[in-house]
Structure formats: C-alpha cells, structure tokens
Amino acid sequence: MSHTVLNNKADFDKALETKDKNVFIYIHDGGELPESAKNGAAKFEATSAAFSVDAAVEPKVKDYFQVSELPAAVIYKDGKELKKFEGLNQEHMGEIGSILSV
C-alpha cells in the first residue's frame, strides 16, 4: 500500500472520515517519498491509512497543520489528532510505530 496524496481540504476531510484505522499524514517538501515512508505504509496498512501532502505544491499546508519543520507527520484516529511529529528522526519512527500498530 502506498500513500494517498492529499490535494486539497476536501481530500483531508475525507481522510479524517476513515473508520477503524489510524490516519497517518506525511508532510514533506518536494520530491519522492522516502522508502521508509513507503515501507511504513505497507507495514501498518492493517491498522492505518497513509496519506501524504507536498508542501512544495501546497505551501499553506505548513500553516494548516501548524508545523514549521519538515518532514512532519500527524496521526489522527476517529477524526481527532493523536500526535504530531516535526523534523522526523529515528526516535520519532519508534513512537510512530507504537501508535500505528494499535
């Protein structure tokens, strides 16, 4: 499974309607998604729906998600924000994995 690209607010609103799964949103600044993001989407597809948004294409996304350092990730469940990560690093990856595995 790969990330579904969010192109606008309507896409985001629809993503938040996802039932019985975490909603993982990866915010990046241009280019291809890293292999770690692709692998994570596949690893947690049973418990999570993966989405991505490119801040180079949608510059207002940083303000919308209130992030200043990219890449960033925001995890939602049942329409509510669970956790936000900015400037993703290895420590974040472990915590993200713990959240997405439930």
pLDDT at 72: 96
Tell me the pTM: 0.93
Question: Rounded to a whole number, what is the largest CA-CA distance in the chain?
Answer: 32
Output the DSSP codes for 12-65.
Answer: HHHHHT--SSEEEEEEESSSPPPHHHHHHHHHTTTTEEEEEEETTTSTTHHHHH
pLDDT at 1: 58
Contact 15, 23 (CB under 8 A): yes
Task: Write down all domains in the chain, each with its CATH number in brackets.
Answer: 4-100 (3.40.30.10)
CA dist., res. 43 & res. 55, Å (int): 25
* Tens digit of pLDDT at every position of the chain (102 positions): 589 999 999 999 999 999 999 999 999 998 888 888 889 999 999 999 999 999 999 989 999 999 999 999 999 999 999 999 999 988 999 999 999 998
